[in-house]
C-alpha cells in the first residue's frame, strides 16, 4: 500500500464492527460499512449513533465532532460498495466458512494495492489470505471490546503477509487510530485470547460445577485481583457465542482441554442466552 489509509471499508456492523466503525470515523477516516441486510445496517447505525451520543453526554465528544463523524460513515448492503477502499476490515461473525467466502469475494473487488484484514481472534490468517487471492496484502488486525475504549490492537501477519503490509498496518493503528499495537504469530488465540479464553472457560466450569455463585466468582476476581470486571461478566460482554467459537478454534488447533468449551456454554448458546447483547447470559441486562 503506497499511501496512508484514507478510505476504509468495514464488513459487519455488529458489536465489534460498530466499535471499529466509531474508532475510524472519530479518527477522521471515511468509512463504508457493509451489512447483510437493510435491517442489520440500521442496527449498526443505531449502535454507532448511541455510542457517539453516550460520548457526547459524558462530555468526551462535542456535538459538532459527533456530526462530523456520522457524516463520514455510509451504510451499504452490497460488497461492491467496498471498491475503491484502501483498507477493508472484516468484522463478521467468528465463522471460518463465512470468512473464507467473504475473503474470496472481497479480494476480487479491491484495487491492486489495497489491504484486506480480519478482526478474527482465532481463525488462521494464512487461510484467509489464500482465499483472497492477494495473500501478501492480507493480515489480522484484532481490536478489543469495547473498541472505542480499549487501547490495544493485535497485528498478526501470516507466513504470506508482506513486510510492507505489516508496516502499513503498524502506522495505521498507531499513527492514524492512536492505538497501541502488539505483534503476534498466526496461531489461534494470538497473545490475548491465548491467555484470556482458558481463564474465562475455567470460570464457566467453576460455575457449572456449583463451586460458587456467578456473582461470587466475579466478585472474587474484581475485589481479589483488581480486574475491571469478573470473568462471567466479561464473557457476557464479549458474547457467549463468540467465547464458544474462539474456544472451539483454539481447541481445534492445539487439542488442549482447557480451551474446550464446557457443556454449559454450549447449552447457553443453543438457548440464545448470548450475554449482554441478548439481555441475558450469566447475568441479566435491562438495557440490551
Hey, which residues are catalytic here?
Answer: 121, 142, 154, 193
Report the candidate in 211, 212, 155 with the shortest Cα–Cα distance to residue 186.
Answer: 155
**Binding residues for ligand 3HC, total number by CB under 6 A:** 18
Reported as type and span, the H/E element at residue 201 is helix 192-208
- CB closer to ligand 3HC out of 14 and 148: 148
Name the segment binding ligand 3HC (CB under 6 A); options: 2-10, 80-88, 208-216, 228-236: 228-236
Q: Which is nearer to ligand 3HC, 60 or 80 (CB)?
A: 60
Question: Using an 8 Å Cβ cutoff, are 84 and 57 in contact?
Answer: no
- Provide the 3-class DSSP secondary structure of residue 149: coil
Cell (9 digits) for 231: 470473568
Residue 51 found at the interface with ligand 3HC (CB under 6 A): yes
| By the rule CB under 6 A, 121 interacts with ligand 3HC | yes
Which of 56, 150, 184, 264 binds ligand 3HC (CB under 6 A)? It is 150
Residue 156's DSSP bridge partners are 140
208: nearest Cα among 284, 257, 263, 272: 263
Number of neighbours of residue 251 by Cβ within 10 angstroms: 19
Is 158 an interacting residue with respect to ligand 3HC (CB under 6 A)?
no
Q: Which is nearer to ligand 3HC, 86 or 90 (CB)?
A: 90
CB contact at 8 A, 122 and 246: yes
CA 17 to chain centre: 6
Closer residue to ligand 3HC in complex, CB, 129/148: 148
Query: Among 145, 160, 164, 171, which residue sits at the site for ligand 3HC (rule: CB under 6 A)?
Result: 145
Angle at 251 between CA 154 and CA 89, to 5 degrees: 30
Interface with ligand 3HC includes 234 (CB under 6 A)? yes
| Sites for ligand 3HC among residues 162-191 (CB under 6 A) | none
Nearer to ligand 3HC, 107 or 157 (CB): 157
**175: which 3 cell numbers?**
499513527
Distance between CA atoms of residues 113 and 133, nearest Å: 13
Task: Please report how close the Cβ of residue 235 comes to ligand 3HC at its closest, in angstroms.
Answer: 9
The verdict on 18 binding ligand 3HC (CB under 6 A) reads no
Q: Can you tell me which of 103, 144, 172, 259 binds ligand 3HC, judged by CB under 6 A? A: 144
> Least distance to ligand 3HC from the beta carbon of 244, Å?
11
- Distance between the two ends of the chain, CA-based, in angstroms? 40
Binding residues (CB under 6 A) for ligand 3HC: these are: 51, 54, 58, 60, 121, 144-146, 148-150, 193, 196, 228-229, 234, 238, 242
Amino acid at each position: 500500500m503506497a499511501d496512508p489509509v484514507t478510505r476504509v471499508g468495514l464488513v459487519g456492523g455488529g458489536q465489534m464492527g460498530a466499535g471499529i466503525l466509531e474508532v475510524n470515523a472519530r479518527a477522521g477516516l471515511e468509512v463504508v460499512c457493509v451489512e447483510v441486510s437493510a435491517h442489520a445496517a440500521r442496527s449498526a447505525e443505531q449502535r454507532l449513533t448511541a455510542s457517539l451520543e453516550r460520548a457526547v453526554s459524558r462530555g468526551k465528544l462535542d456535538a459538532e465532532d459527533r456530526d462530523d463523524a456520522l457524516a463520514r460513515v455510509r451504510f451499504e448492503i452490497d460488497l461492491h460498495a467496498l471498491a475503491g477502499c484502501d483498507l477493508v476490515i472484516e468484522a463478521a461473525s467468528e465463522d471460518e466458512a463465512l470468512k473464507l467466502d467473504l475473503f474470496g469475494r472481497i479480494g476480487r473487488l479491491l484495487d491492486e494495492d489495497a489491504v484486506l484484514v480480519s478482526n478474527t481472534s482465532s481463525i488462521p490468517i494464512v487461510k484467509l489470505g489464500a482465499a483472497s487471492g492477494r495473500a501478501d496484502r492480507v493480515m489480522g488486525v484484532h481490536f478489543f471490546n469495547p473498541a472505542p475504549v480499549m487501547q490495544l490492537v493485535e497485528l498478526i501477519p501470516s507466513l504470506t503477509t508482506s513486510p510492507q503490509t505489516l508496516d502499513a498496518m503498524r502506522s495505521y493503528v498507531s499513527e492514524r487510530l492512536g492505538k497501541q499495537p502488539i505483534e503476534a504469530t498466526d496461531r489461534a488465540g494470538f497473545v490475548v485470547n491465548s491467555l484470556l479464553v482458558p481463564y474465562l472457560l475455567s470460570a464457566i466450569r467453576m460455575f457449572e460445577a456449583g463451586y460458587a455463585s456467578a456473582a461470587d466468582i466475579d466478585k472474587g476476581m474484581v475485589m481479589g485481583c483488581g480486574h475491571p470486571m469478573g470473568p462471567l461478566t466479561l464473557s457476557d460482554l464479549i458474547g457467549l457465542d463468540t467465547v464458544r467459537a474462539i474456544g472451539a478454534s483454539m481447541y481445534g488447533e492445539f487439542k488442549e482441554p482447557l480451551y474446550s468449551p464446557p457443556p454449559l456454554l454450549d447449552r447457553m448458546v443453543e438457548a440464545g442466552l448470548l450475554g449482554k447483547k441478548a439481555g441475558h447470559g450469566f447475568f441479566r441486562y435491562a438495557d440490551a
